[in-house]
A and B are shown apart, each in its own frame.
Chain A
Amino acid sequence: MRMDDAELHDELFELSGEEGRKKQARASVPSTSYWKDSWGRLRKNKGAFAGLIMIGLILFLAVAGPYMNSHGFDDQNLEHANLPPKVPGLEKISWLGMSGADIRGVDQYEAKAVEDYYWFGTDSLGRDIWTRIWEGTRISLYIAFLAAALDLVLGVAYGSISAYYGGRVDNVMQRIIEVLIGIPSLIVVILLILVLQPGIISITLAMVITGWVNMARIVRGQVLKLKNQEFVLASRTLGAGDARLMGGHLIPNTLGPIIITTMFTIPTAIFTEAFLSFIGLGLQPPIASLGTLVNDGFKMMKIYPHLLMFSSIIISLIMVSFNLLGDGLRDSLDPRMRK
């Protein structure tokens, strides 16, 4: 590391005093509010943002989709049964499968002399799949959000109380959870639906009765870890009460796992509902959900693939986008990710 001595002027060897330090001072980061900051981080996360847009789109269609054509979700028209999808504009593109031709290549619309367009086709009773899918998505999402919200409230409350008070309280509360886990959840769900009659509320209840346990366990683990951390002790020495410790310190720091669990609960709830409908314990016709639609489509998968295809795609999209968003939300709501 020899240097050229000629470069080293004499004045460089004077004391620099304050000026040198000032030159080096770095500009400080501007401060922004917590939510603005989080939003900024979420927007930068491409996957999460894509998930958010997708969820927005699905939600919009779930609300507005059924009104976009003139078919009602339970309007039967047996003459129009089992029509393949046909979309104006897209019908010209032969490989897309939107031309109204079935798997044998016969244009069913011409064969049955149907003037209408059924965008996603019709089912065996001649009901419009497009309308039914969005109607079904709406009901599925409603069940899922309700179940997730109930899980969240119950699980967080139960888990944090159990861990925070500890000792005997914790002991009793955990035994209760163990009993609940010990019973196979499917049996609980089936029994409950048999007693309550299948319907939106009974399915939601059935799912919540066993679903919140997971959340409670996760929250309990986190709170147990956090409650002896020094910032909690510091707050106690300042005289903070239980509510402040829980609401201000413990639960906010559990937010990451809570968000992730909730975001997984939503697709799981949709899936469970689909499964229950699939085995015949779910919603009863004519009400549609994504699950009943898949169930109906499954029976004629080989002859009329469109019956199964669209509902499955929507389920997959919902799952993927919620998982993407959940991942991104966890990171963006954590101020430690601020750079």
Chain B
Amino acid sequence: METILSVNNLNVSFDTDAGEVQAVRGVEFDLQRGEILAVVGESGSGKSVMSKSLAGLVPKPAGRVKAGSILYKGEDVTKFSKKRMRSLRGAEISIIFQDPMTSLNPTMPVKKQIMEGMLTHQKVSRKEAEVKMLELLNLVGIPDAEERAALYPHQFSGGMQQRVVIAMALACNPEIVIADEPTTALDVSVQAQILDLIKDLRDRTGTSFLFITHDLGVVAEVADRVAVMYAGKIVEIGKTDEVFYNPQHPYTKGLLEAMPDLKLGSDELKTIPGSPPNLLYPPKGDAFAERNEHALKIDFEKAPPMFKVSDTHSAATWLLHEKAKKAALRIEQMKIKGELHASAEEVPAPDRTEKLLEIRDLKQHFQINKKHTVKAVDGISLDVFKGETFGLVGESGCGKSTTGRTIIGLNPRSGGEVRYMGEDVRSMKQSELKKKIQMVFQDPYSSLNPRWTVADIIAEGMDIHRLYSDRKERMEKVHQLLETVGLAKEHANRYPHEFSGGQRQRIGIARALAVEPDLIIADEPISALDVSIQAQVVNLLKKLQKEKGLTYIFIAHDLSMVRYISDRVGVMYKGRLVEVADSDELYENPLHPYTRSLLSAIPVADPHATRSRERMEKAEFVHSEEDRFLEVTPGHWLLCSEEEASRHAAGNLAGDRLLPEGELV
């Protein structure tokens, strides 16, 4: 293998008012020709800054490469002149960004954007460039390339846009493509297609990819090698299998354990306590020591060097030092003991006798103009039982968030009925209803008023409904709630921006709990959080459910997390509910073709399983007006025609099933 890019002791810092933020602290790795190297890490781990510095895109003047070298084919990129850098960028190193919507110019036809790079960097005529452009569009899988090349970006879907961006990146036959979270903004099924495309392109063109992501499932799917970054350093690097099946660094281990397993039941998720360090004051020793339950004394004193595990696998942890063998063994023993202890608890399944919420034929149409109406929610019916967690999944734009907002009354509904404990919510007193049903929002950054203290935010519901007699009682209740969600009393007088994403989500949960609701609608409460933080929040939600007997409607697009937390799951597609079943039943025996394609597209953090499974093509499903939502087997509802229903009910499924159970999990 030929090393095409070699990064040595790279340090990148940002000068801020508060001091120097050391975003990247001594990163070293080699990129081979034709490989896909994934860099995983949480937000703030420095992975994006590192990848940008490879292309000379560190935002100036605040950021600067402080030390180290980036050798591209033996030449140091950091010493290149601006002009030299420009010719390198685009021609030899190109970048794919996260959001295709913003990385394409909306006022330029796609064709022009792809050709632009070729015309600046290569000495080609316009005709030749046009031919190459069509080739590229075919290569990235855009059908009818000749016609569609003249279209503008908004006329493509999100997945197609990202394909165009990839075509742009490949226009000048670059040696290296840096893909910075290229699938994060996309739906699972589209993500799966893009990942396949990237692998396919690597095989066909021999381009090296540096793939930046926070999603271990995606890594397992796409990468040859993985580098795990934490607090500006690479803590572990190795072949994908080595890192996934033989992780050495405690952080890597923690990350892998925090992923919900599609096949596992509902014992508590492993979490990594705390949050990543502030790189304004980088810790002296191992940056992860503070969050590591089993840290060694030396972890707080000295930063560990890279230890070799095998020729291709190395990790920066003192546990690999020969003197640490005894301690490593003890940690293993403690972990096994802990696991035995943890798995003893069993959560009783909620009994489905009392219907908390009945939704009948709920409709939410938005009138855009006189002729045009968007049917965001188009007639869904479902029951939510007391004490259960109902998961609602679907792709973006399927109407799942709108459903949640309509139930709680944020949108005046266009049709249908919502009954709470048998009573129509419209006839109920609004202030009563608002106490019973609460909501937790998606974005921890915009869901808290930045000008209010945490105490005021949490107490808002109590203020509105006058749930306390004096200020002292109000403060006491706030302190209680803070403790319930795992924050400290001292946090009450701080402002939201002083907290990390996970902590803010806890504040949002405390605000919802303040009015003592029965039902909480959680609208993608974890999708904006890092993996290690997601597990913390999910565990908190589960704990609260057990303690307070809450009922949840859990809206998400992360199917593995939904299975983990939900008792029953409903799948939405284009404003309609297409399938509802117990979560295990739904994941093991999906009936609707859309559910199946959705399930087959989930990236799983298990490289072996990913390689051996087949993927279903995503198709468009059209439901006729006659299709109704029918119970085909007990507890399993499906949107289908009468005939299909009777076929399913007769157990005539075997020939219909595309995925045997073993491969799904």
- Pick the contact of A335 from B17, B289, B451 — CB < 8 Å? B451
With A12-B301, A28-B490 known to touch, is A237 a contact of B451 (CB < 8 Å)? Answer: no
- Pick the contact of A24 from B290, B294, B451 — CB < 8 Å? B290
| CB of B439 within 8 Å of the partner chain | yes
Closest residue of chain B to A12, judged by CB? Answer: B298
Query: In the complex, what residues of B have CB within 8 A of residue A11's CB?
Result: 297
Q: Which of A1-50 contact B (CB under 8 A)?
A: 1-3, 8, 10-16, 20-21, 23-24, 26, 28-29, 31, 34
Check B461–A238 contact: CB distance below 8 A.
Answer: yes
- Interface flags for A160-204 (1: CB within 8 Å of B; 0: not) read 000000000000000000000000000000000000000000000
With A15-B327, A239-B434 known to touch, is A31 a contact of B494 (CB < 8 Å)? Answer: yes
Q: Which of A232-248 contact B (CB under 8 A)?
A: 233-241, 244, 248
With A2-B305, A15-B296 known to touch, is A233 a contact of B410 (CB < 8 Å)? Answer: yes
With A20-B289, A24-B283 known to touch, is A336 a contact of B450 (CB < 8 Å)? Answer: yes
| CB of A339 within 8 Å of the partner chain | yes
Query: In the complex, what residues of A have CB within 8 A of residue B442's CB?
Result: 230
Check A16–B283 contact: CB distance below 8 A.
Answer: no
- Pick the contact of B460 from A15, A238, A253 — CB < 8 Å? A238
- Pick the contact of A15 from B321, B331, B497 — CB < 8 Å? B331
Closest residue of chain B to A229, judged by CB? Answer: B446
| CB of A112 within 8 Å of the partner chain | no
Check B446–A230 contact: CB distance below 8 A.
Answer: yes
| CB of B449 within 8 Å of the partner chain | yes
- Nearest CB on B from A46, distance (A): 14
Bound-state Cα–Cα, A236 to B409, Å: 9
With A3-B302, A230-B441, A239-B465 known to touch, is A253 a contact of B451 (CB < 8 Å)? Answer: yes
Check A13–B450 contact: CB distance below 8 A.
Answer: no
Query: In the complex, what residues of A have CB within 8 A of residue B324's CB?
Result: 13
| CB of A231 within 8 Å of the partner chain | yes
Check A16–B295 contact: CB distance below 8 A.
Answer: yes
Bound-state Cα–Cα, A125 to B403, Å: 78
Check A23–B305 contact: CB distance below 8 A.
Answer: no
Check B295–A336 contact: CB distance below 8 A.
Answer: no
Number of A-B contacts (CB under 8 A): 134
Query: In the complex, what residues of B have CB within 8 A of residue A229's CB?
Result: 446-447
| CB of B624 within 8 Å of the partner chain | no
Bound-state Cα–Cα, A32 to B488, Å: 17
With A31-B493, A238-B434 known to touch, is A1 a contact of B295 (CB < 8 Å)? Answer: no
Closest residue of chain A to B445, judged by CB? Answer: A230
| CB of B408 within 8 Å of the partner chain | yes
| CB of A299 within 8 Å of the partner chain | no
Check B495–A8 contact: CB distance below 8 A.
Answer: no
Bound-state Cα–Cα, A31 to B493, Å: 6
| CB of A249 within 8 Å of the partner chain | yes
Check A239–B323 contact: CB distance below 8 A.
Answer: no
Check A237–B408 contact: CB distance below 8 A.
Answer: yes
| CB of B156 within 8 Å of the partner chain | no
Query: In the complex, what residues of A have CB within 8 A of residue B301's CB?
Result: 12
Check B443–A230 contact: CB distance below 8 A.
Answer: yes
Bound-state Cα–Cα, A10 to B322, Å: 10
Check B497–A31 contact: CB distance below 8 A.
Answer: no
Check A14–B450 contact: CB distance below 8 A.
Answer: no
| CB of B554 within 8 Å of the partner chain | no
With A13-B324, A230-B441, A252-B451 known to touch, is A20 a contact of B305 (CB < 8 Å)? Answer: no
| CB of B435 within 8 Å of the partner chain | yes
- Pick the contact of A234 from B321, B431, B447 — CB < 8 Å? B447
- Pick the contact of A233 from B297, B441, B494 — CB < 8 Å? B441
With A12-B296, A339-B18 known to touch, is A239 a contact of B430 (CB < 8 Å)? Answer: yes
Check A231–B295 contact: CB distance below 8 A.
Answer: no
Check A20–B498 contact: CB distance below 8 A.
Answer: no
| CB of B464 within 8 Å of the partner chain | yes
With A15-B327, A238-B460 known to touch, is A230 a contact of B447 (CB < 8 Å)? Answer: yes
Query: In the complex, what residues of A have CB within 8 A of residue B321's CB?
Result: 8, 13
- Interface flags for B445-465 (1: CB within 8 Å of A; 0: not) read 011111111000000110011
Bound-state Cα–Cα, A13 to B317, Å: 11
Query: In the complex, what residues of A have CB within 8 A of residue B290's CB?
Result: 21, 24
Query: In the complex, what residues of A have CB within 8 A of residue B431's CB?
Result: 239
- Nearest CB on B from A224, distance (A): 15
- Pick the contact of B495 from A3, A244, A338 — CB < 8 Å? A338
Check B451–A244 contact: CB distance below 8 A.
Answer: no
Query: In the complex, what residues of A have CB within 8 A of residue B378's CB?
Result: none
Query: In the complex, what residues of B have CB within 8 A of residue A8's CB?
Result: 298, 302, 321, 323
Closest residue of chain A to B331, judged by CB? Answer: A15
Query: In the complex, what residues of B have CB within 8 A of residue A12's CB?
Result: 296-298, 301, 323
| CB of B84 within 8 Å of the partner chain | no
Check B294–A238 contact: CB distance below 8 A.
Answer: no
| CB of B542 within 8 Å of the partner chain | no
Query: In the complex, what residues of B have CB within 8 A of residue A338's CB?
Result: 495, 497-498
- Nearest CB on B from A331, distance (A): 11
- Nearest CB on A from B516, distance (A): 12
Bound-state Cα–Cα, A146 to B589, Å: 72
With A15-B295, A24-B283 known to touch, is A231 a contact of B300 (CB < 8 Å)? Answer: no
Can you pick out 28 interface pairs between chain A and chain B where the beta carbons lie within 8 Å of each other? A3-B305, A11-B297, A13-B297, A13-B318, A13-B324, A15-B327, A15-B331, A20-B299, A21-B290, A24-B289, A31-B490, A31-B493, A231-B446, A231-B447, A231-B449, A234-B439, A234-B508, A235-B449, A237-B439, A238-B434, A239-B431, A239-B461, A239-B465, A248-B452, A249-B449, A334-B450, A335-B451, A339-B18
| 5 closest cross-chain pairs (CB), A and B | A239-B434, A31-B493, A230-B447, A12-B298, A1-B305
User: Which B residues contact A (CB, under 8 angstroms)?
Assistant: 17-18, 281, 283, 289-290, 294-302, 305-306, 318, 321, 323-324, 326-327, 330-331, 405, 408-410, 430-431, 434-435, 437-439, 441-443, 446-453, 460-461, 464-465, 490, 493-495, 497-498, 508, 511, 515
Sample of 10 more A-B contacts, CB < 8 Å, known A13-B297, A15-B330, A235-B460:
A1-B306, A14-B296, A15-B327, A21-B295, A230-B442, A237-B438, A244-B464, A253-B451, A338-B498, A339-B17
